[in-house]
Structure 1
Amino acid sequence: MSTNLTKYEQVMNYIKSCISSGEWPVGSKIPSQRKLAEELSVNRSTIVAALEELKTEGLIEGVMGKGTIVRNNTWTLLAATPPDWDESMSFSVPKPASVPLLEIDEVKAPEHMIELSKGELSQDIFPTDNMQQVMLRLAKSLEPFGYEEPKGYLPLRQAISDYMKKQGSEVSPSSILIVSGAIQGLQLISAGLLHKGSTVFLEKPSYLYSLHTFQSAGMNLSGLPMDDEGLQPSALSKKAADGPSSILYTIPCFHNPTGSLMSEIRRKELLDICEQKRLPVIEDDIYRELWLDSPPPPTLQSLDSDGRVLYIGSLSKTLTPGLRIGWIAGPDQVIDRLAEIKKQTDYGSSSLSQLVAAEWLSSGFYEQHLAVVREELKKRRTAALETLNRYMSDLADWDVPAGGFLIWLRIKTNIPLKEMHVKAYQAGISLHPGSIYTEESVRAIRLSYGYASIEEFQQGIIKLRQIILESNEVK
């Protein structure tokens, strides 16, 4: 053990290293206090103090008749050994957007844009009447706003807890942190739990490639191949090294940008590998409630029994991004750590937004709204697929999304996608080229049918077809 640390710290680090290395797996009994004292050449009182601290951190627990056992070895371990704050502050200065999005900066913007790139619901779907009712209800009992407690407005956390129970996750309000959207959740995790040089495994393509949140904090992204059931577990098994220096980030429901839905069998396979490799998991589930054909499989978190999954939810994709309300659900010790960092960065999410969100969830308005959203998206999906079949079937391939509002359009012609992107912009069509989701060349476009009207979507696709055909004729 290092002589630069106190004996108490040496004991703590020794036990944590045994857990993180897998020498002491989850559920195993750790050596007795006497044996540890002999092995580490310290007083038994030092061992007792270290064990009590580790129990508080959630790494170990005393079980009647079994002694002291390892309780958790992933997120809780990371929360117990947080990165240095100064080294993590770079998360607040993300890298600039990928080059394909910047190539249009010098192009004069048309007066009207057909938005086929926006990852949000149309303003036509916004529930104006219900929102007015919610605001009027709150206005009648409004009191002066103050700072909420670090984890967020308790009635909102209780409402989210009740909501998640319907998904099969028994998450208490104390295990939930309110954040200003899913992106802030990822920033807090990056700053508060992950060490510089960590590897983040993720689907390729993935939304995370366009954010640069983890790269800005000094972490490495390692893409994994997908099929129609989602991320391929065998690829993760081959790539992942044991230990908490790596994590898995995944969007299992109506994946951004491909729109794919991970099957329940695939989810269980993935969790089995993460257990073998001791990989913590971030489940980004913000599209979950946008199912169109049938409800999606259980969440990864509900299938997990070891506190391995941090769950991220949000109202941005289902209600409105303007509320800036999302949440992280996970082990109490981890949420406590993230709440402390959030307190130091913004003193909490908007009190008004939290009051509004709590009213939506507890009043039943939210579930009523979701039913309306699904019906509207079904109409838009049907129209979008009809348009693509009519105008793009000879030029591209795509899969039918079971939910969400994204289609991954795979271009079959040889038109340079950078050229197509610029020409589409000049023609008044906003697109997201696939390269921003992979950091490499890929012949695909992410289309959204959730924002533009049905008529505008058709107009945009007709114009896109013309651009592709004209470019091929020039060649």
Structure 2
Amino acid sequence: MPEIKWKPQKNSTIPLHQQISDYVKRKILNGEWTVGTKIPPQRRLAELFEVNRSTIVTALDELAADGLIESKVGSGTKVINNTWNLLASVSPPDWISYVTSGIHKPNITLIQEINKAEANPNFIRLGTGELSPDLLPNKKIQELLQIDNGQSLSLGYTEPKGSLSLRKTVSDHLKLKGIDASPESILIVSGGLQALQLISIGLLRRNSTILHETPSYLNSVHVFQSAGMHLLGIPLDEEGMRYDSIERLKRQHDAALLYTIPNFHNPTGSLMSNRRRAELLKICQKESIPIIEDDVYGDLWFEGPPPKPLKCNDTQGNVLYIGSVSKSLSPGLRIGWIVGPEPVIERLADIKMQTDYGSSSLSQYAVEKWISSGWYEDFLKNIKDELQVRRDFTIKILEKHFSDIATWSIPKGGFYIWLKLHSEISTRKLFDLALREGILINPGSVYDKNDNQHLRLSYSYASIEQLEKGLIHLSQLIKKSAFD
């Protein structure tokens, strides 16, 4: 479905339906909406253009009369022609067939709607998993980039594994977590998501099976699925991912790899116990199943450091460890890292060079200076204090307005509260209702397609005022919907 930002001018002398018809016609004639493009439904167009539905009907009738669009019951309205197509002796490329034939799978519709809504500054975003713009260190970054002549900054390509200076700094940073990793065993990547993409195309065969917690962040992106992999969920309990079924699943499905977020799990916010980490590492070593340990939230603890990463006790090179500053410093810098056996890092570095020729040298410079200067640790302390205030405030709102309609656990760090609704209300229906009221939420089905009872709440993005207003209104929508 095409994205539409334009709106007709209501003070114009040109009738609204004519403005809309002309807009759509320009999109078609310019080749932006090609043959086969599906036009949004009339009701949706009326909302987007902020006009009556009858105005939309008139505009579409004109376009249909010009032979540009066609409506069919059951399949909606599509572009069927443009003037060039009518004049040409051969048909133009069928771009829609190319789009649907692409190797990379499209996001689920719900995720696409969330991504679009997040671009609207008027929404209260109760599910967004990133730091609020108010918490980002914009002024400090500007100060850092006031580079004097004595500092070494290169704007050329870095070496395949990334800036050596940054890798040395990351190596020292990881020692604070108990991970002993030389710069040679570290690859700088453009965020944790690229780390997963490189692993999916660089280390695994098509039709491989990936084990993961359920619910899981992996279900909200199609990194492994688009590379021809299969995902298989393992339930969580109060200590983290259960391990008792791993041996059976390895035998039945020939599982190639296990993915886990032990620290402040996305979406549940849970923290894997020390005992469970040891058990998980032991069984995966016994079954020769490599582990991807995604630790992008690991620095964001509130009440004492979390247990040591799985990588700390990995003496066999069984764990690929992913870290990033996207959640703890700035999503826009797009800098993360993979730690693993050197042959693996060499392989992934080679693929990264083939795909983007290295992460931004300017971002690498900024992150290296930020961590090595000690600013990162100072910033983390402030951010954790702020996030804890927001978490505690959110819990108070939930206790006051949600205690009779939902249950939850209190996270010890990270961004998320996994809210379980008592009522049988469809969370997809609730998403639509909330969206119409200017509130954006993340239903549990984003992380487990069979989940229709949970919401992932985030206290990291919305302001205190927005959290209060948005959550109270959300509770009212839930209670009202439960009785409809």
- Band of TM-score, shorter chain: 0.7 to 0.9
Q: Is it true that 1:381 corresponds to 2:406 in the alignment? A: no
The structure showing larger relative contact order (alpha-carbon pairs under 8 Å, at least 6 residues apart) is: 1
CA shift at 1:237, angstroms?
Answer: 3.0
Residues in 2 aligned to 1:300 and 1:105: alpha-carbon distance in whole angstroms: 32
Q: Which whole-Å deviations, capped at 9, do the CAs of 1:402-427 have from their partners, x for residues lacking one?
A: 10010111111111111100000010
Q: Which whole-Å deviations, capped at 9, do the CAs of 1:245-266 have from their partners, x for residues lacking one?
A: 5110000000000000001100
Which residue of structure 2 lines up, in the alignment, with residue 290 of structure 1? Answer: 300
Residues in 2 aligned to 1:314 and 1:184: alpha-carbon distance in whole angstroms: 11
CA shift at 1:103, angstroms?
Answer: 6.3
Q: Which whole-Å deviations, capped at 9, do the CAs of 1:81-130 have from their partners, x for residues lacking one?
A: xxxxxxxxxxx9532222333568999x9871001121001111112332
Which residue of structure 2 lines up, in the alignment, with residue 397 of structure 1? Answer: 407
CA shift at 1:440, angstroms?
Answer: 2.0
Residues in 2 aligned to 1:376 and 1:110: alpha-carbon distance in whole angstroms: 24
Per the alignment, do residues 243 and 156 of structure 1 end up closer, same or farther by CA in structure 2, a change over 3 Å counting? farther
Which residue of structure 2 lines up, in the alignment, with residue 131 of structure 1? Answer: 141
Q: What TM-score do the two structures reach when normalised by structure 1?
A: 0.77
Which residue of structure 1 lines up, in the alignment, with residue 68 of structure 2? Answer: none
In structure 2, what residue type is equivalent to 1:315? V
Which residue of structure 1 lines up, in the alignment, with residue 462 of structure 2? Answer: 452
In structure 1, what residue type is equivalent to 2:313? L
Residues in 2 aligned to 1:223 and 1:138: alpha-carbon distance in whole angstroms: 51
Q: Given the alignment, which residue of 354, 374, 379 partners 1:369? A: 379
Q: Given the alignment, which residue of 257, 269, 272 partners 1:259? A: 269
Q: Is it true that 1:422 corresponds to 2:436 in the alignment? A: no
Per the alignment, do residues 182 and 463 of structure 1 end up closer, same or farther by CA in structure 2, a change over 3 Å counting? same
SS at match of 2:432: helix
Q: Which whole-Å deviations, capped at 9, do the CAs of 1:164-197 have from their partners, x for residues lacking one?
A: 1111111000000000000000000001001111
Residues in 1 aligned to 2:161 and 2:366: alpha-carbon distance in whole angstroms: 17
Residues in 1 aligned to 2:116 and 2:345: alpha-carbon distance in whole angstroms: 44
Which residue of structure 1 lines up, in the alignment, with residue 181 of structure 2? Answer: 171
Contact 2:322–2:338 (CA under 8 A) maintained in structure 1: yes
Q: Is it true that 1:121 corresponds to 2:127 in the alignment? A: no
- What are structure 2's unaligned runs of at least 5 residues? 1-101
Q: Is it true that 1:196 corresponds to 2:196 in the alignment? A: no
CA shift at 1:241, angstroms?
Answer: 2.6
Residues in 1 aligned to 2:173 and 2:271: alpha-carbon distance in whole angstroms: 21
Q: Is it true that 1:352 corresponds to 2:362 in the alignment? A: yes
Which residue of structure 2 lines up, in the alignment, with residue 314 of structure 1? Answer: 324
Q: Is it true that 1:247 corresponds to 2:244 in the alignment? A: no
Which residue of structure 1 lines up, in the alignment, with residue 190 of structure 2? Answer: 180
Residues in 1 aligned to 2:261 and 2:416: alpha-carbon distance in whole angstroms: 13
Q: Is it true that 1:299 corresponds to 2:301 in the alignment? A: no
In structure 1, what residue type is equivalent to 2:458? S
Per the alignment, do residues 442 and 115 of structure 1 end up closer, same or farther by CA in structure 2, a change over 3 Å counting? same
Residues in 1 aligned to 2:169 and 2:113: alpha-carbon distance in whole angstroms: 44
CA shift at 1:142, angstroms?
Answer: 5.5
Which residue of structure 1 lines up, in the alignment, with residue 236 of structure 2? Answer: 226
CA shift at 1:389, angstroms?
Answer: 0.5
Contact 1:195–1:245 (CA under 8 A) maintained in structure 2: no
Q: Which whole-Å deviations, capped at 9, do the CAs of 1:416-449 have from their partners, x for residues lacking one?
A: 1111000000101111110010122331010100
CA shift at 1:472, angstroms?
Answer: 2.3
SS at match of 1:240: helix
Per the alignment, do residues 143 and 472 of structure 1 end up closer, same or farther by CA in structure 2, a change over 3 Å counting? closer
Q: Given the alignment, which residue of 443, 453, 457 partners 1:443? A: 453
Which residue of structure 2 lines up, in the alignment, with residue 326 of structure 1? Answer: 336
SS at match of 1:376: helix
Structural RMSD (CA):
2.1
- What are structure 1's unaligned runs of at least 5 residues? 1-91
Which residue of structure 2 lines up, in the alignment, with residue 84 of structure 1? Answer: none
In structure 2, what residue type is equivalent to 1:293? E
Q: Which whole-Å deviations, capped at 9, do the CAs of 1:284-316 have from their partners, x for residues lacking one?
A: 000000001110001101111100000000000
Contact 1:286–1:312 (CA under 8 A) maintained in structure 2: yes
Contact 1:205–1:257 (CA under 8 A) maintained in structure 2: yes
